[in-house]
Structure 1
Amino acid sequence: MKKIGVLTSGGDAPGMNAAIRAVVRTGLDKGLDVMGIQRGFSGLINGELFQMERKSVADIIQRGGTILRTARSEEFKTEAGQKKAANILSAFGIDGLVVIGGDGSFHGAQALAKHGIKTVGIPGTIDNDLAYTEYTIGFDTAVNTVLDAINKLRDTSTSHERVSIVEVMGRNCGDIAVYAGLAGGAESIIVPEKGYDVNVLCRTILEGKLRGKMHNLIIIAEGVGGANEIAKKVEEVTGIGARATILGHIQRGGSPTANDRILASRLGYRAVELLLEGKTSTVVGVQGGKVIDMGIDEALTIKAKFNEDLYLIGESLSY
């Protein structure tokens, strides 16, 4: 192997730049040429490739987003688009490709592997919804972003004796809600894995009021949705002022935490090693604090396991 490429795809996540940096500098350290591919699979199809040097990734480890940028590509979902992308890589003499992203990005890497391109995937998504790895790059930063926001919301909620309902991201995975809710001392954590009854929620708020509790912080995952509707119902039933806050894409931005920078560096380094070992259609991740790798096919079929223990701890400590 003489030349590799790297791209980021799907939603951006804090720590993607740290992963890009790790791939580029590891590749160069091991005598490889490294090409950056802009705008994900869309940019690949359009031939948006450029040579990367050590200075190309200087001063990016602390930056959120992705310097390679990212974009969706409907064309790449077709067989013709995938073949065109593989031909572009071959035309540039690229022997292996590192794909940084979520499950959709991994399906793209899987497709290119079937066209003869050696591929390794790195999990970069704030949702933490790839079950084969304990953590994905960007998740820790997103949790800390939510925690900072709910700390501020608790201040104003306490001042006005209100119920504050905060909707966080994560698609159909409730990890951001559970981790941020537990760390932020939320009174209720609502996730798609468990569901909820709004009447039970209202009764719990009223019972808390009888004990002298004058404010409540409720975290709801976007997979459940309806923060505004819940706030309206809570206010109607309890008579307590309720406000909904949807944090949205602020959770994708910001400087990555130390944990995300270190995880990205470890996974980026290992991804290049795997390409040099001749591996393909493989993903890297972390289990029990150790870097692991497995086939993309296997990784994408592993069922997500909800962290019941953390959820129960949150419930136990909430009142």
Structure 2
Amino acid sequence: MNKPILTIVVPCYNEEAVLNGTMLQLTKVMEHLIEESLVSKNSKLLFVDDGSKDQTWNMIESECEKNSFVTGLKLAGNVGHQNALIAGLETANQYSDCVISIDADLQDDINVIETFVEKYWEGIDIVYGVRDSRETDTFFKRNTALFFYRFMERIGIKLIPNHADFRLMSKRALDELLKYKETNLFLRGLVPLVGFTSAKVYYDRKERLAGESKYPLKKMLAFAFDGMTSFSVAPIRLVTFLGFLAVIVSALVGGYAIVQELLGHTESGWTSLVISIWFVGGLQLMGIGMIGEYIGKIYREVKRRPRYAIEVDRFTSMIKEELQEPVFK
């Protein structure tokens, strides 16, 4: 078996505070993999600039000139982490035997990348990096994450618990993933749908060295909700169930009121009336909002707009210079 060409894809958005250290550490990892004859010397680090407003792209370009491993992909605008990641995966897939994705802050343990590649040599197509524990998280984040994974499992969405976007994929697995053309991307849910042989590698997640997290609470909640509504109709069925429940409760209360009227025990009051109006009105608004969410997703899907636009592609031009002919035709 020939040594595989590995590309490590790193989405970046305003990462100037950590980027120099990230490029240095990943370069050392790549050099070690080559020394161990695990990957080809043509392997690359692909940094995808997702429309950063700081010096991220200038730093990537500067490193490209002096580091033969570093390549860059500059997107024309900010399209979000998932779209930036899929842009890097699609670009890397042209000339790679396997691809690893990792976030720029390197909170994921780069020391297990060697284990990822060893699993690939064993014939594994998808290797998931899974957090061994969440002790570094706050109590709130740890328990909400646990609830999220359990809830997603209950509504039939297959996820790998405590796995984000740190994974290795073989070319054939990535080929299948790229056949999913939906606009509403939730890669953590899509990758398990691909199938093929898979394995998990456990590691301890580190603290962010510098800069700020690109996923504060608001974005995390939006991301989780987007994942739920992209893969299941269970939320809208839940609203339907609550609607039926409200009708049943209203019927019971109405029956009770009729009995009280017949027995002459009625008392005037507005509290129960107001509460019932608010309750039913809230359910109606919730139902309309949930239906609107799904309609909005359909609206975005049917327009078939491109998920990203590439402004500069240093990866393709650089690797074409090194390879006399493409690895895959």
TM-score of Structure 1 vs Structure 2, range by shorter chain: under 0.3
TM-score, structure 2 as length reference: 0.27
Larger Rg, first or second structure (1 or 2): 2
TM-score, structure 1 as length reference: 0.27
Counting helix residues as a fraction of each chain, which structure ranks higher? 2
Counting strand residues as a fraction of each chain, which structure ranks higher? 1
